[in-house]
Structures are given as C-alpha cells and as structure tokens.
Chains A and B, each alone.
Chain A
Amino acid sequence: MKYLLSHNSRSVGDRLIRRASADRRWSRFSLYLGLTIVGFISLAAILAPWIAPYGEREIDLLSTFQPPSFKHILGTDDMGRDVFSRVLYGVRLDLQVVLVITYAPLLIGMFLGAIAGYFGGWIDTVINRAIDTVMAIPFLVLVIVVVAIIGPGLEGVFIGVMGVGWALYARLARADMLVIREEQYILAAKGLGYSTWRILFKHAVPNLLRSSLVFSVADIVLNMVLLAGVSYLGLGVQPPTAELGVIIADGQPFLLYAWWITTLPGLVFVFLGIGFSLIGDGLADMLGEEFKLTV
C-alpha cells in the first residue's frame, strides 16, 4: 500500500511537471513561430525597394493577368503590375501605418490612464468621462464621418483611430494603476522622498506596461483589419498606391479568371495576422507566467 501510494504520487508529480513544461514549450513555440512569420514578412517589406523585381506602380499593358510564374511570382493584375512587388510595398505601408495607429494611442492612453488612476479625484473623473464618451463612438462610423468631412485618404484613418483608440489603453492603464498605487513599493518610493512625477513614471508606469503591451499585439491585428477594410471600401489608402486592402479590392472583379490577384495577397494578410496573434498569445502566456513567479 505504502509503495502504491508513493508510486502513485510520484507519477502525479511527474505528470504535473510534464504538463507545466509542455505548456511553457507551447507558449514559447507560438511566440517564436509568430516572431518568425512576422519577422520574415516585415524584413521583406522593409527591403521592398531593393528586392521588389518591379516598381509599385509599374504598368505593363502587354502582360496583364499573367498567372504566377518565375517572371511574376504572384502573377500580374489587370494593368500588368507585378502582384508580388505590389504586395511588398503594400505590406510596407500597412505595417508603418498600423504601428503608428497602434502605438501612438498606446502612449496617449497609457499617459492619461496612468494620471487618472494615480491622482484620482477630479482628474480621474474628467478622464474617465472622456473614456466613456469615446468608447461609445463606433470606430468605423467615426472614420466614415471624418472621411466624409475631409475626403478619403490615410488622414481619416489616422484621425479616427487616434481619436478613439487611446480610450481602451487608458482604461487598461487606469485599472492597473488603481492597484499599483496602493503597492508597497510605491509607498517605499514615497518614503524615499522621490518627486511625484518620478514615482508616477519611473516606478508606477513600468508596472502597467505588461498588460498594455500584450493587448497592443492583439490591437495590431485589429488595426490591420481596420486599415485594410477601410481601404477596401475605398475610404482609406487610395489606388494606385499599393496597400493590401486596395490590392484585394482591385483584383476582386477578376476573381473568377485571375484568382491570384486577390487570393495570394489575401493569404499574405492572413499569415501576417496569424503571426501577430501567435506573438500575442505567446507573450501573454510567458508574461503571465513571470507575473505568477514575481508576485
């Protein structure tokens, strides 16, 4: 009996350890796989001017609707433009815009949320009401309104996303800050006589980066879909500029006999989205794990 019990508990322990390390391996695997996909596509996008075989808007009316071949890896579109080159430039533009419309709101939102949570009082009330108001505005509708006012183009996307996107980060940062400001290390920092701004930005804010960063990776995917979607609808990036949404929209009328114009850029888009999602998942798991260890 004694033997049985110890044997049993040992195997339970083994299983626990195996499962924990399998979980760790999986989150590490998804992070690295995501980083590989995103890194590979980003590198190609960064190097677009040097590795693209044709120009972004290089029209060749003698070779329209070419299926994928060695000459045109992803084929050509209705104006004979090389789809591969356009995808490279398109991803380049998409990534640039998406990084700005994700991380500029992150900075603004985190700043406002941190201040609201730390100081409380009327500052908190004002910022919190602003968050509530902004969160009530539907994103796409705001973009359409802005576009209606200033005309189609990237400006509409920028204004729309900047005006709304910060609110979620502000809410996130505020919620974290409400917990952090009661932490012992903030009290200890006060006891060391640091200035309020030093305590706020050097001691408190680094501790709320974690959740904002994890969320931002998911937000990147959402913003990619938003940008491509808005451009697909003709409200964002305007043709002939290469952008994944624009390319997909351009090829759509010819989907039945030139499937590559829409499908292959679409696949690149899907891969990029999956890549960012994997990074987000892996990051959340790994940071969550470290969080458990720390506290």
Chain B
Amino acid sequence: MILAIHNLCTAFPGPNGLILAANQVNLQLRSGVTLGLLGESGSGKSITCRSIVGLVPKPGEILNGEIEFEGRSLRRLDSQGWRKVRGSKIGMIFQDPMSALNPTHKIGNQIAEVLTTKLGIPRRKAVTEAIALLTKVGIASPSRHFHSYPHELSGGMRQRVLIACAIAAKPRLLIADEPTTALDVTVQAQILRLLIDLKVEIDMAMILISHDFGVVAQYCDEVAVMYAGCVVEYGSVVDIFENPLHPYTKALLRSIPKLTGHEDRGLLPIKGQPPDLGQLPTGCPFAPRCDRAGSACSNVDMSLSGANDAHLSACPF
C-alpha cells in the first residue's frame, strides 16, 4: 500500500459554518495502480488531492483524518519534510497547463531546476537530462525547445513539459488533476497515453482526477466516485462500469449519451441540482436526487461497505 487515506476531512469556513469539501474520505492505493477520482465539479476531487500534498488553498484546512504515504504520516510533516516529499516522492500535475509554467523561465531550465534541487544533479548534467526528458515526453527537437519560453508552446506541449517536471525526480506517486481538461480531444488522448506509458516505465502509482467517464474507463485500474465531498463508491473499473452499486454511479452511467440505440432516447439527466456543500442534508447527500430514496437515507453514515473489499459502496440499500 503506497497511499492510505483514513477519514480525511478538509473544510472551508462558510457563511453558515464549515463547508466540508472532503467528508470522511477513505482511499487506498497500491503501487503501480492508477486510481481514477471521478466526480462532478465541486465534489471534492481536487481538494482531496491537494490535501494529500498538503496544499489545501487558504482558508481551507484539514480537520481530521490520517494520510499515510509509504507507511509514514504526511500530516505530521514540517516544511522541511514536505520539501523531501513534494516533487521527489509525489509528483503533481495541475489542471491548467497554460498558466502552470513560469512565463519568465525557459522550459528547459524549469525541468533542469527539478533535477538540480531534488536530485542534486550538477547543472551541466541536468541540462542533458532535461533534454532527454523533453524527448521522453514527446517534444520534437528537444534541444531547440529547451530554450523556448512557455508562451511559445501550445497547450499540449506545455502539458508535456509539466509532465516532464512532475516525473523528473521519478516520484512514487503521480497526482494528475484533470490534466487534459484544457486540451482538445485528440491531444487529450495523446497526453493520457503518455501518462500511462510513463507510469509503467517509472513504476509509480497514479491518481487521475477526471469528470470524464470515458477517460477513467480507458486509463484507470480502479475508480473512486465522489459526490458532495464523500466517496460514494469504490471498485475496479470493470466493477464500477459493469455492476455499479451506488445509485449516484448508476444515474451517472445512465446519463452518458449514447450514439447507438434508439434515436428518441434523448439525454437522461440526474434530476435536481448538485447540493450546496454548506447545507447538506443529514445522512446521504444524494438522497434528495435519488429515485430510490427512503426515510432511512437520513441515517446513512456514508461509510463504505460491500460484499467484498474490492468493491465498496456508501449506499447500504
């Protein structure tokens, strides 16, 4: 087990008390596995990952819970300890490649900086390695692009550079926060393919945040579905897609438009609105939109359970 999250609660102060952006999240990740974090906007995917690396945006804070990475608690790290984990053990790729590279530095130097500061490689050797990394992430004529500034590159190329930065120190875990949302579909497939190839090559675990079922189905081994800060279902890709347990997952799968089948099927949306995290109902947050909801739903404690440990759901019914 490379990463284990127990009862993580991350909260933000809201107008009427705390807003729980991550609500008792439990996740486990074995090394070499790709976990897809699936959920709509505001479901707590990003906050969960930012909590893992200790970069919860202010004024948010981790209230409770334990995050163990390679057997050590991350929550007790001081800034010195974090410096040894971030970048070297846990790599992170952020959502928007257009603004995640520093506009004032050459991209090659930004990669080389990771190598010199994280691995202590001398500058001259770091330059050669940075060029090798540029080749590895699929940048054409890397020694020329070493000297490019971010604004000279397209979005896809910038995301490749960011990937190079994130994997430069060969981390054990790579967290990719919607790495392809800002890119068009063809580039998206290339970038995801690249990520998976690198994952296998470096033998790291990966958390892929996405709101795209197709992406998760194609590139992940395991899936955690999140809703209103809670993990509502967890299982292998096959389990989740073939045999969803939680009503939310089922409703999501039903709402995917299909190209085949009856023309008059139309879209099947989930009725209602995503909940206001500041005013969640007691019990299951999905109950107001659930077509199987009953009076018992307000007593559900959202802990995951299931017939076998590999496929868990927060819905006891």
Contacts and interface: CB of A to CB of B under 8 A. Distances in A.
A185 B151 contact: no
Interface in B83-101: 83-88, 91-92, 94-96, 99-101
Contact of A183 (B79, B91, B99, B105): B99
Given A187-B55, A188-B165, A194 B87 contact: yes
B114 A185 contact: no
B186 interface: no
Interface string A165-196: 00000000000000000011101111111111
Interface string A192-227: 111110100011001101000000000000000000
A283 B94 CA distance: 33
Interface in B102-155: 102-105, 113-114, 117-118, 150-151
A185 B88 contact: no
B86 A293 contact: no
B117 A194 contact: yes
Contacts of B101: 185, 188
Contacts of A206: 102, 104-105
A193 B82 contact: yes
B100 A188 contact: yes
A185 B103 contact: yes
Contact of A185 (B55, B82, B100): B100
A294 interface: yes
Contact of A193 (B84, B105, B151): B84
Contacts of A202: 113
Nearest to A205: B104
Nearest to B84: A193
Size range of the chain B interface in the assembly: 20 to 34
Contact of A192 (B95, B114, B151): B114
A192 B87 contact: yes
B94 A192 contact: no
Interface centre among B83, B95, B100, B102 (most CB of A within 10 A): B102
Contacts of A187: 55, 94, 100
A185 B98 CA distance: 9
B55 A194 contact: no
B287 to A, nearest CB: 35
Contacts, number: 69
B53 interface: yes
A190 B117 CA distance: 13
Interface in B45-99: 53, 55, 79, 82-88, 91-92, 94-96, 99
B162 interface: yes
B139 to A, nearest CB: 18
Contacts of A183: 99
Contacts of B113: 194, 202
**Residue among A193, A198, A203, A293 with the highest chain B CB neighbour number at 10 A:** A193
A282 B117 CA distance: 38
Given A206-B104, A207-B102, A195 B83 contact: yes
Contact of B94 (A188, A194, A198, A295): A188
A293 B86 CA distance: 31
B69 to A, nearest CB: 13
Contact of A190 (B86, B150, B165): B86
Given A190-B55, A191-B87, A195-B83, A184 B94 contact: yes
Question: Nearest 8 CB-CB pairs, A to B?
Answer: A193-B86, A193-B87, A192-B87, A191-B92, A206-B104, A184-B99, A294-B151, A184-B100
Interface of B: 53, 55, 79, 82-88, 91-92, 94-96, 99-105, 113-114, 117-118, 150-151, 162, 165-166
Given A198-B117, A294-B150, 7 more contacts: A184-B94, A185-B102, A191-B53, A191-B166, A192-B118, A203-B105, A207-B102
14 contacts: A184-B96, A184-B100, A185-B99, A188-B92, A188-B162, A191-B53, A192-B86, A192-B118, A192-B166, A194-B87, A206-B104, A206-B105, A207-B103, A294-B150
